[in-house]
Amino acid sequence: MKKFQIGILGLGTVGTGVIEILREQSENFKKRFGVSFQTKKVLVKNINKKRSVDLQGIELTEKIEDIIGDPDIDIVIELIGGKTIAKKAIIASLEAKKNVISANKDLIADDGRQLADLAEKNNVGFYYEAAVAGAIPILRALENSLDSDRIESINGIINGTSNFILSKMRQQKMSYRQALSLAQELGFAEADPTNDVDGIDAAYKLQILADFAFGKQIEQKDIQMSGIRTVTQQDLNDVSELGYEIKLLANASLIDGRLQFSVGPTLVPKDHPLASVQNENNAIFVSAAYAGGLMFYGPGAGKLPTANSVIADLLELTSKAPKNPRFNSQFKSDTALAGPKNRIASRYIVFKVADRPGAMHKLSGFFLMSNINFRNIRQYDPIDGSTRVVIITYPASDAQLNPVKTTIRQAKGVEIVHEFKLLERK
């Protein structure tokens, strides 16, 4: 029997779930894996607060040093979140030759590679499956099953809040505001929903996915980002008639040897598996040269789903790879990022156009200048002197499209309401 002592930083939702699972599965893990875990200490903000979870035999502390300085603790599970204290604690733990498991996507998005290198230098493990898409074992699948392949693209619904809002808008004809309120009532969205609805949370996860899929550590500024605040019932209806659903997709694509990254509302063909992912669920669709199109679907958040990913890391660390703990395969590529010429996609663009003769002729002329071809065009009945025009283009690069947009911004009687990308049918 191998015995391990654990220190947990943070006793919020996920920390509580971790303690619950460790209690429930204690006998099972001894029997099946020959490992025994003792949760020795847990860092909390207030040791006097009442807790719902059984903490018998566990020492609560408000001092982080009590845990990272405790020589008996083999494994630190970091669940406090944030970038500053968490980073210091992880570095100190790794340097003290403690294994670390974390669910901290914000931190790992930017510093994951640096921390993984530090773990390797100290011959300990640094695992963080729970940081991306909750219960879905997507990082381990990329690491252990798709490392043999050449990945071409990743398209993920990796923000449950946004997907919940878009689902309710579609299923129950709610407005964005109504759906957001419902999400807030049900605890799927925070009082300030910025991180979720503007794509920031999805972008953090995309940074981590990019590292595992393409061996490339990127920064948030490398990602073209837009959120779901401007999506309307009319958009959902327009695209539904044309055979699409709108999803907030995080995309990473390798096109012509260059990598491009975006997060934004995206038209997904209804027969694509991502189109039917509903409510707060997450799904990641991976296109690879050999495996083809694979999708990994499941709960992207929640106490036990996320805690299960932490526990799976714990078992790998202690039972399967105790001598060579390695999560991020140190896959490093120097693939260039795409510039405007290489960032190619079909686009759904909505215009507000003055209701007068020649308006469409003028608008279509702007696109002709850049040789951009249209796949679908719809003009709707005018309201109050202006008309809604929806155009879906064939694939066009940012280099083609940007001058068109600049021209339109300077033109009279036409404005761009918004622009979403299309996920191409495969």
Give me the helices (H) in 145-225, please.
160-171, 176-185, 194-197, 200-214
d(CA 372, CA 345): 11
Judged by CB under 8 A, the stretch of 102-110, 290-298, 391-399, 405-413 that binds a second copy is: 290-298
Burial of 290: CB neighbours in 10 Å, binned 0-12, 13-18, 19+:
exposed
Closer Cβ to a second copy, 36 or 278, answer by number: 278
Answer for the pair 249, 267: CB distance below 8 angstroms, yes or no. no
Going along 289-359, which residue ranges are E strands?
Answer: 292-299, 336-337, 344-345, 347-354
Answer for the pair 282, 156: CB distance below 8 angstroms, yes or no. yes
- Binding of a second copy at residue 53 (CB under 8 A)? no
**Gyration radius (Cα) of the chain, Å:** 24
Closer Cβ to a second copy, 146 or 363, answer by number: 146
Judged by CB under 8 A, the stretch of 68-76, 87-95, 157-165, 309-317 that binds a second copy is: 309-317
Q: Cβ of residue 254: shortest distance to a second copy, in angstroms? A: 14
Report the site for a second copy in 117-136 (rule: CB under 8 A).
129, 135-136
Binding mask 160-199 for a second copy (x = CB under 8 A): ----------------------------------------
**Nearest Cα to 423, choosing from 282, 251, 276, 259?**
251
Largest CA distance in the chain: 82
Closer Cβ to a second copy, 198 or 280, answer by number: 280
Q: Cβ of residue 406: shortest distance to a second copy, in angstroms? A: 41
Active-site residues: which are they?
Answer: 205
d(CA 143, CA 146): 6
Phi-psi region of 401 (alpha: psi -120 to 50; beta: other; left: phi over 0): alpha
Answer for the pair 9, 64: CB distance below 8 angstroms, yes or no. yes
The binder of a second copy chosen from 60, 174, 321, 354 (CB under 8 A): 321
The binder of a second copy chosen from 239, 311, 317, 391 (CB under 8 A): 311
- Binding of a second copy at residue 312 (CB under 8 A)? yes
| Beta-sheet pairing, 224-225 with 151-157 | unpaired
- Backbone phi, then psi, for 410, in 5-degree steps? -90, -15
- Binding of a second copy at residue 417 (CB under 8 A)? no
What does the buried/exposed string (b/e) look like for 137-160 if buried means 16 or more CB atoms within 10 Å of the residue's CB?
Answer: bbbbbbbeebeebebbbbbbbbbb
d(CA 310, CA 6): 12
Residues 6+ apart with CB under 8 A from 40: 5, 6, 7, 58, 59, 70, 72, 73
- Binding of a second copy at residue 268 (CB under 8 A)? no
Closer Cβ to a second copy, 52 or 371, answer by number: 52
Closer Cβ to a second copy, 294 or 408, answer by number: 294
- Binding of a second copy at residue 140 (CB under 8 A)? yes
- Binding of a second copy at residue 46 (CB under 8 A)? no
The two structure tokens encoding residue 398:
């940012």
- Binding of a second copy at residue 19 (CB under 8 A)? no
The binder of a second copy chosen from 108, 132, 267, 307 (CB under 8 A): 307
The binder of a second copy chosen from 220, 329, 364, 370 (CB under 8 A): 329
The sign of the dihedral angle between the CA atoms of 38, 113, 286, 298 is: positive
The binder of a second copy chosen from 141, 200, 354, 399 (CB under 8 A): 141
Closer Cβ to a second copy, 329 or 407, answer by number: 329
The binder of a second copy chosen from 92, 294, 354, 408 (CB under 8 A): 294
- Binding of a second copy at residue 243 (CB under 8 A)? no
d(CA 211, CA 1): 35
- Binding of a second copy at residue 298 (CB under 8 A)? yes
Q: Cβ of residue 142: shortest distance to a second copy, in angstroms? A: 10
Closer Cβ to a second copy, 242 or 291, answer by number: 291
The binder of a second copy chosen from 225, 291, 399, 417 (CB under 8 A): 291
Closer Cβ to a second copy, 203 or 249, answer by number: 249
The binder of a second copy chosen from 36, 278, 386, 407 (CB under 8 A): 278
Q: Where on the chain is the footprint of a second copy (CB under 8 A)? A: 17, 21, 25, 32-33, 129, 135-137, 140-141, 144-150, 271, 273, 275-278, 283, 288-299, 302, 304-305, 307-309, 311-312, 314-316, 320-321, 323-324, 326, 329, 331
